[in-house]
Amino acid sequence: MEYTSQYRPFFKIEFYHQYFLDDGLASFASLSPADSARQLANYDWGDILAIRPSPKSAQWLAGNQILLKNTAHGLMGLIKVNSNAINEPYIDLELMEDFQLIISIRDPLFYNYTGLEPAEGMIFLTNKIPSFPAAHSVPTLSRAADAQMITSDYQLSAENAQSLDLTYGQKGLSRAQMLLNLSMQGDQSNLGLINLDGTLKAQMPLFRVHFPNRKTIWKYNHSRDNFISETKVAYPLTSTGYIDLKNPSDFNNPPTDFDKYSFPNPTASQIIYRDNKIYSEIFI
């Protein structure tokens, strides 16, 4: 009997960022379907992140006839199957197998507008938690249907990051800015890439990595009229939308003749750290 082969979707990972998807004070989750579709249409995750398999994983992927393809909102894996049995990989996969993807930050302002601190360590994303030398409770990668925001819990200490080189048998993984590990069998059945019998999932596993935007206190400096005024609360940084500060009660030490001034929203480049607080400094 003659068999022909084809590729089918294997998994998909979406990379969302609140800085680009929120609309001012309106969170992405609260937007109407039309507005959320508009935000997604203008969003390109490839502007901020780049992803590639580790050298060992690149060989494993090629050997198992698995392709990686960038999509509008993330990354998709395609796997070769027999057309006569499209739920069976062309090359059998073992439950204990895994592969690693190295994620690099393209945008130098990433941590300015992201609610995480680089000093907290590497961001580690995985559907199966390995053992670590130092106690640390790392969350698993989220399915898109119940995606959780990435927090400092996903960041590893230097000791735990270094252990990944040994865990996955590859040097240099610990130096990655972010590392994504995908195992054929996850910590929960809905996190695995294949079924226990080695067949492919009837419904493609869809994961989501959702980064929070940073909130800062907005400090306005008017050199001509010689006043400095800052907001009472921290506001989210967003690339779209506008947060209208129109009441003196929004500020500590609001200027006299308040109504004659406008208070523009800050850009991501205007971040300063002072007295254990994070400010966006705006000169008006």
pLDDT digits (tens, 9 = 90+) for 197-235: 999 999 999 999 999 999 999 999 988 888 899 999 999
The Cα 139–Cα 142 span in angstroms is 8
Q: Helix or strand or coil: residue 56? A: helix
Give the other-Cβ count within 10 Å of 129's Cβ. Answer: 17
The Cα 227–Cα 194 span in angstroms is 62
Predicted local confidence at residue 44, as pLDDT: 95
Q: Where are the domains of the chain?
A: 5-211, 215-283
What are the tens digits of pLDDT across the range 219-229? 999 888 888 99
Residue range 124-128: mean pLDDT, rounded = 97
Residue 172 burial (CB < 10 Å; 0-12/13-18/19+)? exposed
| Global pTM exceeds 0.85 | yes
Lowest-confidence segment of 235-244, 253-262, 274-283 by average pLDDT? 253-262
Give backbone dihedrals phi and psi of 189, rounded to 5 degrees, phi first: -60, -35
Predicted local confidence at residue 1, as pLDDT: 41
pLDDT of residue 5 exceeding 70, the answer is: no
What are the tens digits of pLDDT across the range 132-146? 998 878 999 999 988
Residue range 154-164: mean pLDDT, rounded = 95
End-to-end CA distance of the chain: 76
Residue range 101-129: mean pLDDT, rounded = 95
